Structure 1
Amino acid sequence: MSTVIMHGIGAMRPCSVTFVKSVQCCGGVSRNPAVALRWFSVDRYLCARPPTRRESRTVVEIPGLEPITYAERMHFVPGLAKPTFPPWHRGWHDPRHAVWPKYEEMEPRRDRPCYVFHQRTAVLEGVRQALWLTKAIVKQGLPSQVLSIADEVANQIENQDECVLQAIQHSRFWDTTEKKPSRERFCPVLLRDLLHLCGTLQVRHAALGERMLAEKYSVAACWTRGGDLFQVRGQNGLLLNSMSPVPVVAGREEVLSSQDKVLETFYPISPTIDLQVTYVYNEKTNTGSFREGYPYPHAHTLYLLESGDAPRLREHQVCAKMIMFAFGNALARAHSLYGAEPRILDQPVVVQSVATNGRTFSFVIFQLNTTDLDSDTGVKNLVWLDADQPLYEYAKIRPLIKKKVVQVPAGVAGYQPETFKKFLALYLHGVV
């Protein structure tokens, strides 16, 4: 015997009475066959029973009795206990299957927390937070004695603007066949080409040969600020090392006059916001990658690239990153020269930093005057900042046309020669 019932949307479909009864038995939803079938067709989980989970049995250990397991039989046997085997060791270290200790059991574990600034840190307050952490005062723009280096004709490259335009075209057009290359592609190519252009001046300035470009270097620097312990560490950017230190920018009088300056705060926001908090750390301050006796011990300029898998940072966060890592290199050098005891440096340590995303450039000069960073009083460190300077506006393979009018022509548009002059001035600083 069969019957015909209505489906949810009005379609006619045959159904067996036995099937309808089975639906009623499974869920006990309704005695009406049409309602039971409609409910079953909408969602089967409404009528199905939840799966039964077998509770894990607790193994009871009786002293003096050894459980009988199925280890010797090499297969599961009902009624026998599950065997426990000792951990198997490969005899060599495999990082893919390494068993690391728990965070609570790691060594060396401290009672005092440490706030770490690393290469993936994006601080909320940006430059203001970096200035407070490094006990520094910022001055907008680069010093006049540094900018004047690139203004002299003897320090300029032959056909300078044409060479820079060719470097931009090489990174955006000639190095790839893609219509729109990614930032991870053209950003490092442009930086390498610009450094190569600056290196061609070695025929005029022989001291440029006393430098070395280090890649994937690491730095670690510890200091106390406001009663808390801070550390900047990690691998970040390219570091240009030199046999001689960078000349001091601010004189003795200007350094002593910084005692009267008041550091800017951002209360009620904590200065440690967005910094990694850890209780497992080593209080060390070194350059990690460079051993004692390295012929290029002085950090000259740090080049940061806004590319790779690092999170995208805003302009003030990039500048904060430049300040922190320049400060870390300067503090590590100061500790190696004068020791870890807080003091005012007889000879300040200067480290420069340049950051680029392939179109805009930011410049920082950090002068470390003191390692006494705990209090807000006394001599402060100095920072010269010139941020977000475009090298060019557009680089288009095809022109941008709107309403039959060319808005942006093909090629490089909006070239700013002053930006490269600042790049060249920081490169030649200490040689001229």
Structure 2
Amino acid sequence: MITETANRLKSAAPLLSQTTALNDLRLLSHGGTSRRHFNVTGQLSAKVPPTPKPRERVEIPGLEKITWGEKMHYALGLAKPVYPKWERDYKDPRHYNSPPLQEMPLYKEQTCYVFSQRSSVLEGVRQALWLTKANLTAGLPPQILSLAHDPANQIPDQDERVQDVIKRARFWDTTVRRPRKPQYCHTLLNNLLHLCGSLQSTHPALGKRMLSENYTLCVTWERGEDLFQVRGKNGLLLNSMAPLAPLAGKQEVQSTTENVLETFYPISPAIDLQKIHAYKRDNYTGFKDDYPYPHAHTLYFLESGEVIPRLHPPQLRAKMIMFAYGNALARAHRLYGPQPQSILDHPITVQAVGTNGRQFEFVVFQLNTTDLRDDQGIKNQVWLDEDNLLYDFAKVRPLIKKKVVKVPAGLSGYHPETFSKFLALYLHGAVKDGIIAE
């Protein structure tokens, strides 16, 4: 038997390392067994012996086990003692055991669907439009585009300075060959905002704004028979002392009653949202009542792959719509109360900008109603301008294929119209009808 197994080992030697084969031969020569498994032809088999199942513990009622608990040490032939669970008389957060869900103070039978910072909805923008009861309009509103095309609102040497900002983020702001994506995304956005803020001398209203980061938002609303929440920390927020003016007039708002919301049956509108039963029906903006900059102006989102899962462009646009709606709804609840309003006297407008360091997405949300229980009546409005490239390539080394330079080193393919839209959203509210707002 040993000779036959040894011959199999020799035939399988090309598949095994020399050390493993020698160890198996030594084990067989001393009367042991090899751990390797071979089939009938003498080749290695992928089958692994099943792991032995643990023996079931037998409990005999009325029969007490003899344990080694009194001896205070292990004793052969005696059973292992079972001690009662030790309860601490002090609170230790490192060893906290939560009570059952039904015993929690905030437990409610109604399910709440939560949209958080990393929620990746399947249907993207379509799902976000249904959750917010909004109609979509492609492109930015004409009031904002007029700001982008006005030469009086441009920065001196605008194109050269924007290209310097891109080069600094992609080439200069690093001690290694090239910065990582989370690093150059933050650098690019902060420098673009700093460049836009340089117009404060000609637009004094820009000084009545404040940037906020890592603030917590929570807003609750009912959509149909379900309860939804937008909560958590979103991107960088630009607050202002004065609210943005509505972009759609009263007649246009009234005409939204004729629009029909798009459905995606049989997919549930709450797909991919977190389901919870322990929650509060809170509504807060993340700031105190006496905060001097209470109005949300523009949200800035970065999708740099720093946090997993990474959001694709459709999911990033849905996130921008949901958080812009959440900030507007929280402000509406602060002004008009938590009761649903079929139409707001003064609609609330919030903007959003999303980028991955090269591609920019622009969203403008106007909250016309807080009554989202059915699909009838006044609808909210969303303007979406997507897939705007700021530049095509930023290569440290040229891309060469078949001895032909496909993409040269450095910055190539700069698109100035993308930054013009970025600047127009930033200046919105500081310029009114060609007159600088004080």
Which interval holds the TM-score relative to the shorter structure?
0.7 to 0.9
1:179 and 2:177 matched:
yes
1:425 matched to 2:424 = yes
- Distance in 1 between the 2:80 and 2:416 partners? 80
Q: In the alignment, is the contact (CA less than 8 A) between 1:134 and 1:327 conserved in 2?
A: yes
Once the two structures are superposed, the pairs formed by residues 282-297 of structure 1 within 5 Å of their partners are 282-287=280-285, 289-297=286-294
Are the equivalent residues in 2 in contact too, given 1:23–1:37 (CA < 8 A)?
Answer: no
**What's the % identity of the aligned pairs?**
52
Counterpart AA for 1:340? P
Report the 3-state secondary structure (helix = DSSP H, G, I; strand = E; otherwise coil) of the residue aligned with 2:218: strand
Residue 98 of structure 1: CA displacement? 2.5
TM-score normalised to the size of structure 2?
0.84
Q: 1:375 to 1:37 in 2, by over 3 A?
A: closer
The 1:294–1:55 alpha-carbon spacing in structure 2 relative to 1, beyond 3 Å, is: same
User: Cα distance 1:7–1:280, how it changes in 2: closer, same or farther (>3 A)?
Assistant: same
Q: CA deviation at 1:9?
A: 5.5
CA drift at 1:235 = 1.0
Aligned partner of 2:88 in structure 1 is 89
- What's the CA shift for 1:297? 1.0
Counterpart of 1:331 in structure 2 is 329
Distance 1:44 1:268 in 2: 44
Matches within 5 A, 1:70-85: 74-76=72-74, 79=78, 82=81, 84-85=83-84
Shift in alpha-carbon separation, 1:79–1:420, aligned structure 2, 3 A: same
- Letter of the structure 1 residue corresponding to residue 270 of structure 2: T
Which of 208, 211, 220 is matched with 1:210 structurally?
208
| Alignment partners' CA distance in 1, 2:333 and 2:106 | 23
- How far the C-alpha of 1:387 sits from its partner, in A, is 0.7
Relative to structure 1, the CA distance from residue 239 to residue 72 in structure 2 (aligned partners, 3 Å threshold; closer, same or farther) is farther
Cα deviation per residue 1:309-346 (whole Å; 9 max; x = unaligned)? 13222322211111011001100000010001111110
User: CA shift at 1:299, angstroms?
Assistant: 0.8
Change (3 A) 1:230 1:39: same
Shift in CA distance, 246/5, structure 1 to aligned 2, threshold 3 Å: closer
8 Å Cα contact 1:7-1:38 kept in structure 2: no
Residue number in structure 2 paired with 1:341: 339
**Partner letter of residue 273 of structure 1?**
I
Structure 2 CA distance for aligned equivalents of residues 36 and 244 of structure 1: 79
Cα distance between partner residues in 2 of 1:36 and 1:156:
77
Structure 1: how far apart are the matches of 2:68 and 2:104? 37
Gaps of 5+ in 1: 27-34
| Closer/same/farther in 2, CA of residues 37 and 175 from structure 1, 3 Å limit | closer
Superposed, 1:53-132 pairs within 5 Å as: 53-58=54-59, 74-76=72-74, 79=78, 82=81, 84-89=83-88, 91-95=90-94, 97-132=95-130
Q: Would the alpha carbon gap of residues 193 and 5 (structure 1) be closer, same or farther in structure 2, given more than 3 Å must change?
A: closer
1:211-241 Cα offsets, whole Å, 9 max, x none, are 1111111111111112211111111211111
Letter in 2 for 1:305: L
Deviation at 1:300, TM superposition (A): 0.7
* 1:55-86 superposed Cα distances (whole Å, 9 cap, x missing partner): 33548689xx9x99766764445758725255
Per-residue CA deviation, residues 93-145 of structure 1 (Å, 9 max, x unaligned), is 434x3322344543412111111111111111111111111110011111111
Corresponding residue of 1:31 = none
Task: Show structure 2 runs of 5+ residues with no match.
Answer: 14-20, 432-438
Which residue is equivalent to 2:222?
Answer: 224
Q: For 1:377 and 1:171, locate their aligned partners in 2 and report how far apart those are by CA, in whole Å.
A: 48
Q: Could you tell me how far apart the structure 2 residues matched to 1:139 and 1:50 are?
A: 61
Distance in 2, matches of 1:125 and 1:37, equals 51
Following the alignment from structure 2 to structure 1, what is the Cα–Cα distance between the partners of residues 253 and 5? 93
1:381–1:5: structure 2 CA closer, same or farther, 3 Å change rule?
closer
The Cα offsets for residues 195-224 of structure 1, whole Å up to 9 and x where unpaired, read as: 111111112222212211111111111111
SS of residue in 2 equivalent to 1:346: coil
Cα pair distance change 1:109/1:39, threshold 3 Å: farther
Aligned partners of 1:248, 1:135: CA distance in 2, in Å?
Answer: 18
1:251-305 Cα distance to aligned partner (Å, 9 max, x none): 1111111111111112222212222222222111212x31221111111111111
| 1:301 corresponds to 2:294 | no
Corresponding position of 1:30: none
CA contact (8 A) 1:8 1:38 kept: no
**Conservation of the 8 A alpha-carbon contact between 2:218 and 2:230:** yes
TM-score by length of 1: 0.86
CA deviation string 1:338-367 (max 9, x = no partner): 001111110001110000000010000000
Q: Secondary structure at the match of 1:208?
A: helix
More off after superposition, 190-199 vs 175-184: 175-184
Q: Counterpart of 2:248 in 1: which secondary structure?
A: coil
Shift of 1:163: 1.1
- Structure 1 counterpart of 2:359, one-letter code: T
- For 2:181 and 2:51, the matched residues in 1 are separated by 51
Does the 8 Å contact 1:20/1:36 carry over to 2?
no
Distance 2:405 2:54 in 1: 69
Shift of 1:405: 2.3
Q: In 2, distance between residues paired with 1:50 and 1:320?
A: 48
- The aligned residue for residue 401 of structure 2 is 402
Per-residue displacement from partner, 1:162-202 (whole Å, max 9, x unpaired)?
Answer: 11111111111111234343321211111011011111111
Pairwise CA distance, 1:374: 0.8
Which residues of 2 match residues 384-399 of structure 1 at below 5 A?
A: 384-399=383-398
